[in-house]
């Protein structure tokens, strides 16, 4: 797991190869990026944003699919991460997914990955919108 402390200087690149996500969260937030392996031979990237102060609010999960990129959530992430722990999950069709074998890309394949991630990471889910 990589940890990225917030910095005042952003080295943003479109592919985030440098690991700098600081443009997406306020100074009082920590950020971690990790991969989880599903039972289908796919590893998905999850970026966790956590406020350094406790707010006792339930975590939020953002799941991005299709042609979208994290940049489209920039303003939302910046606001949410000030009070909420936010997990940003990238699905298997993203370029960040690590795929060890031929796999499908159907909606049910992606849904199975998401369900597996929730279960494996033991994310407390009280409501789904």
Both tokens assigned to 15: 């592919």
In this predicted structure, the answer to whether residue 16 has a pLDDT above a threshold of 70 is no
User: What is the DSSP annotation of 65-111?
Assistant: -TT--GGGGHHHHHHHTTTS-EEEEE-TTSTT-EESS----SHHHHH
What dotted CATH number matches 2-121? 3.40.50.1820
pLDDT, one tens digit per residue, over 89-117 is: 999 988 889 998 899 999 999 999 988 88
Cβ 80 vs Cβ 61: under 8 Å:
no
* pLDDT band at residue 127 under the 50/70/90 scheme: low
pLDDT, one tens digit per residue, over 49-89 is: 999 888 888 888 888 765 567 888 889 999 999 999 999 99
* pLDDT band at residue 18 under the 50/70/90 scheme: low
């Amino acid at each position: 797991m990589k940890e990225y402390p917030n910095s005042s200087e952003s080295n943003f690149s479109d592919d985030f190869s440098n690991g700098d996500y600081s443009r997406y969260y306020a100074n009082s937030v920590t950020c971690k990026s990790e991969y989880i392996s599903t039972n289908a031979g796919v590893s998905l990237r999850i970026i966790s944003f956590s406020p350094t102060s406790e707010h006792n609010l339930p975590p939020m999960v953002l799941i991005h699919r299709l042609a979208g990129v994290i940049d489209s959530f920039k303003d939302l992430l910046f606001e949410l991460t000030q009070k909420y722990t936010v997990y940003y999950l990238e699905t298997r069709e993203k370029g960040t997914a690590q795929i060890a074998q031929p796999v499908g890309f159907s909606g049910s394949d992606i849904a199975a990955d998401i369900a597996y991630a929730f279960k494996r990471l033991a994310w407390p889910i009280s409501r789904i919108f």
